Amino acid sequence: MNVGILALQGAFAEHGAVLDRLGAAHFEIRQRRDLKRPMDALILPGGESTVMGKLLRELDLFDPLAEQIRKGLPVFGTCAGLILLAREVEGGDPCFGCMDISVRRNAYGRQLGSFYAREDFSGLGKVPMTFIRAPTIKSVGPGARALASVDGQIVAARQGRMLVTAFHPELNEDTSVHEYFLGMVRK
């Protein structure tokens, strides 16, 4: 298995460190030629979703990645990555728009609104959740299902081979969410 990690900005190195701990091969995607490498899955990290969408297009990464995702490439989006995958973005335009969810950007406010929680994640039990200017999932369509919530707000969902979290599992020692994703890839 070889996991591509979009490395335009955000916590891409932290995702790589988690994959290292789990013994999963990975590489960073920074430019078009990086897509020539074999890729069994993709991680879209946190960062600033508008900037990431712009860079995806400027670097000619958007179309080939969108095509691979449409064809069923397993993808895990955290925070901004969640926004990139959403079909509907409140107050903004969708990027890949392939996951049947509606999201609200910066739902928890500015950087000072960042927080930590430990809540149930379907099939995993309680997991640590670090939120940084995080979005929330306002609704899931019939193709997707909610996996976790905090204070009544959906913060994780899955649709087929797509997984999203509003929080940053890569910023905690617990590797269970990444293990969950790798399990999706292996199936």
Over pLDDT 70: what percentage of the chain?
Answer: 96
Q: What is the pTM of this model?
A: 0.95
**168 is a catalytic site residue:** yes
* Distance, CA of 123 to CA of 140 (rounded, Å): 18
* Distance, CA of 55 to CA of 9 (rounded, Å): 10
**Which pLDDT score, from 0 to 100, does residue 138 have?**
96
DSSP 140-177: E-TT-EEEEEETTEEEEEEETTEEEESS-GGGSS--HH
Q: How many structural domains does the chain have? A: 1
Non-local (6+) Cβ contacts of 72 within 8 A are 160, 161
What CATH number does residue 69 fall under?
3.40.50.880
Q: What is the residue type of 100?
A: D
**Which pLDDT score, from 0 to 100, does residue 151 have?**
92
**Which pLDDT score, from 0 to 100, does residue 108 have?**
66
**Which pLDDT score, from 0 to 100, does residue 133 have?**
84
**Which pLDDT score, from 0 to 100, does residue 171 have?**
95
Q: Identify whether the C-beta of residue 167 lies closer than 8 Å to the C-beta of residue 130.
A: yes
Tell me which residues of the chain have a pLDDT lower than 50: none
**Which pLDDT score, from 0 to 100, does residue 107 have?**
67
In the Cβ-directed half-sphere of 7, how many Cα atoms lie within 13 Å?
16
Structure tokens at 81: 């990555």
**26 is a catalytic site residue:** no
Q: What is the residue type of 133?
A: R
**Which pLDDT score, from 0 to 100, does residue 110 have?**
56
Give the start-end residues of each E strand in the chain. Answer: 2-6, 25-29, 41-44, 75-78, 86-90, 99-104, 115-121, 125-131, 136-140, 145-150, 153-159, 162-165
**79 is a catalytic site residue:** yes
Domain that holds residue 177: 2-186
- From the list 26, 79, 98, 178, the catalytic residue is 79
Average pLDDT of the residues of the chain: 94
